[in-house]
Amino acid sequence: MTTRDKSEVVKCTACGADMTFDIASGRLVCPYCGNANAVESKSTSSRDYFTYKKDGAVSFEGIVVRCPNCDSEMEITDFSTAVNCPFCGASNVQKTDTLPGLKPDSILPFKLVKEEAIDIAKKTVKKNFFAPGKLKKSFNAEHFNGVYTPVFLFDAGSKSSYNGRLGEYYYVTVGTGKNRRTERRVRYINISGNYQRNFNSIAVEASSNLNQNELNKLMPFDYDNQVAYDSKYVAGMQAERYNTSLEESFDVAKNTMDSIIKKEILAQYKYDFVDYINIDSLYNPVKFRYLFVPLWICAYKYRKKNYKLFVNARTGKAYGKLPKSVFKILFLILLGLGIIGALIYLFVFSGVI
């Protein structure tokens, strides 16, 4: 089932052409007459997770939007919120009040221009030792797309109770004469208690463009500079709505917070290993923001395999899985074997030992 609605196109007040968001100036600019308009930055606030949990379900419903530029209809079947009209080329942004599910709360506008992202991508490939030489020479970073990627940002208070048993090694000397020796033994420590802490800005990706590990590699983002969502920031860019529910995203956030709590509880004790530990955590209150973060994404093929390189459009941090040269890997293996062989010869056959 599809729903129909009109999309938005930001028109130039001077000549009537479509305006786009200019990253360098942070303003809406007309590419034809040069007219520029400021985008008003407004503060944003978080929402209560438990109130909006059900509203945060993922909608797989297709959307048919009517282009206000040429009046043509186009169907959006993926999770895009900003597309180019295939008939007139206008950049169309879906109105937030017609988006299925949750509406965006805030946005981190693009800060790095495309040329800066291209330069970072090329340097990333060239600096990677294992990247094939052919890729370093032929890598084309021109196919970069600027994409606003959906992220759920969670703040939470936590109260935890725990119990467990830790082990600490100690050593004793036993036996006499030739049988005198040192033995390792274990002293067990029973632990229990309560632990409280607050979490801020736990980010969980909700995108089809990248996974959680890739988002973690691209962090940090300067969340303090997020502003209230305004479609003007998306004009001329690409964007997508979330494809992971709010509830599923909070489960990911809980896993992250659970790991931090466990690590901090154990850091209070001196031990060598954990025999077992049980932790029961309650998260309340929980606040969230549905946020768009800016990424430059370069999708490319090498030897018939697909790869992606991401650049954080706020900080310039880059990450992506690059192809690896088999010859360079073999060279390192052979070099390592050669060094081991040389050491064996030096210490055994030369009479050193």
Angle at 243 between CA 41 and CA 306, to 5 degrees: 100
Token pair for 185 = 């033994």
pLDDT for position 221: 96
CB-based contact 94:65 (threshold 8 Å)? yes
How does pLDDT run along the chain (353 residues), one tens digit per residue?
A: 333 334 467 888 889 888 888 999 999 899 889 899 988 888 889 999 999 999 998 865 655 555 555 554 444 545 555 556 543 455 555 555 556 689 899 999 999 999 999 999 889 888 887 777 777 777 776 678 889 999 999 999 999 999 999 999 999 999 988 899 999 999 999 999 999 999 999 999 998 888 999 999 999 999 999 999 998 898 888 888 898 999 999 999 999 999 999 999 999 999 999 999 999 999 999 999 999 999 999 888 888 888 889 999 999 999 988 877 777 777 778 777 888 877 777 777 665 55
Return the pLDDT at 7: 47
Neighbours of 115 (CB within 10 A): 11
pLDDT of residue 322: 81
Cross-strand pairs, 166: 189, 274
Please report where in the chains the tokens 């973060």 appear, as a residue.
293
pLDDT of residue 18: 85
Single out the residue of 201, 199, 195 nearest to residue 157, CA to CA: 199
Cβ atoms of 85 and 67 within 8 Å: the answer is yes
Contact (CB, 8 A) for 290 and 226 = no
Buried b (16+ CB within 10 A) or exposed e, 169-183: eeeeeeeeeeeeeee
Burial class (CB in 10 A: 0-12, 13-18, 19+), 234: buried
> How many Å apart are CA 74 and CA 24, to the nearest integer?
31
**Model pTM score:** 0.80
CA distance linking residue 193 with residue 277, whole number of Å: 11
Round to whole Å and give the CA distance between 7 and 67.
6
Residue 167 and residue 272: Cα distance in Å, rounded? 6
Provide the pLDDT for residue 343. 76
Predicted local confidence at residue 76, as pLDDT: 53
pLDDT at 2: 36
Give a three-class secondary structure readout of the chain.
Answer: CEEEEEEECCECCCCCCECEEECCCCEEECCCCCCEEECCCCCCCCEEHHHHCHHHCCCCCEEEEECCCCCCEEEECCCEEEEECCCCCCEEEECHHHCCCCCCCEECCCCCCHHHHHHHHHHHHHHCCCCCHHHHHHCCCCCEEEEEEEEEEEEEEEEEEEEEEEEEEEEEEECCHHHCEEEEEEEEEEEEEEEEEEEEEEEEECCCCCCHHHHHHHCCCCHHHCEECCHHHHCCCEEECCCCCHHHHHHHHHHHHHHHHHHHHHCCCCCCEEEEEEEEEEEEEEEEEEEEEEEEEEEEEECCEEEEEEEECCCCCEECCCCCCHHHHHHHHHHHHHHHHHHHHHHHHCCCC
Q: How far apart are CA 210 and CA 340, in angstroms?
A: 41
Q: Please check whether residue 152 is in contact with residue 242, taking contact to mean a CB–CB distance below 8 angstroms.
A: yes
Torsion 279-284-287-290 (CA) sign: positive
The pLDDT of residue 299 is: 84
